[in-house]
Amino acid sequence: MKNKLILVAAALLSLSAGMLFKYYQIQQTEQQPASPLLSIRLPDSEGKLRDLSEWQGNILIINFWATWCPPCLKEIPEFIKLQNELRDKHVQFIGIAIEDQATIVSFLQKNPINYPVLIGGDAAISLSQQLGNLVNAVPFTIIVDTNGMIVYRHPGELSRQKLMQILKPLLAGN
């Protein structure tokens, strides 16, 4: 009985330490200093190469996602609504899929999205890491101000409330 109690206590201690470490990593990701957005060129779902500079001067919400990711799929309808609501305020959502073109084309036929979806494939995982995804989370979202500076990074699902809290000071400057 005593051995089981020690084992349970050790497991709980390990679990708590792991959760604390993960929380610290997420906090570090979100609180990285502003940095310039990399030059990114990726094909869209039709195979046309797109450069993020096309949307220069807008506030960009760039979301790395996958069709197999439940939190990613939960975010998309809210992002669609926000794209409609904030378009006139120079806010542009951009999805970067970490899957192949055929998978994304099939998904988009059944689930239309009103913002550009770029195909990053496996390279998008590395790209998200270069942009500050320290915990290799999917979804992973960055927010870029009108000057092209990454001002916020968010691993995991991003709620409307949190997104609006981050956007509020950026929209005040528009």
User: What predicted TM-score, i.e. pTM, was given to this entire model?
Assistant: 0.79
- The CA distance from 19 to 86, in Å, is 35
**In the predicted structure, residue 107 carries a pLDDT above the cut 60:** yes
| Three-class secondary structure of residue 100 per DSSP | coil
Does residue 126 fall inside a structural domain?
A: yes
| Three-class secondary structure of residue 119 per DSSP | strand
- The CA distance from 95 to 138, in Å, is 12
Does residue 165 fall inside a structural domain?
A: yes
**In the predicted structure, residue 66 carries a pLDDT above the cut 80:** yes
Cβ atoms of residues 132 and 38 within 8 Å: no
Strands 41-43 vs 49-51: parallel, antiparallel or unpaired: antiparallel
Does residue 128 fall inside a structural domain?
A: yes
Structural domain containing residue 137: 32-172
Does residue 152 fall inside a structural domain?
A: yes
Does residue 76 fall inside a structural domain?
A: yes
Does residue 86 fall inside a structural domain?
A: yes
153 band by pLDDT with thresholds 50, 70 and 90: very high
At 36-64, the pLDDT tens digits run: 566 788 999 999 999 998 999 999 999 99
Does residue 22 fall inside a structural domain?
A: no
**Domain count within the chain:** 1
CATH of the domain at 112: 3.40.30.10
Does residue 4 fall inside a structural domain?
A: no
- The CA distance from 138 to 131, in Å, is 13
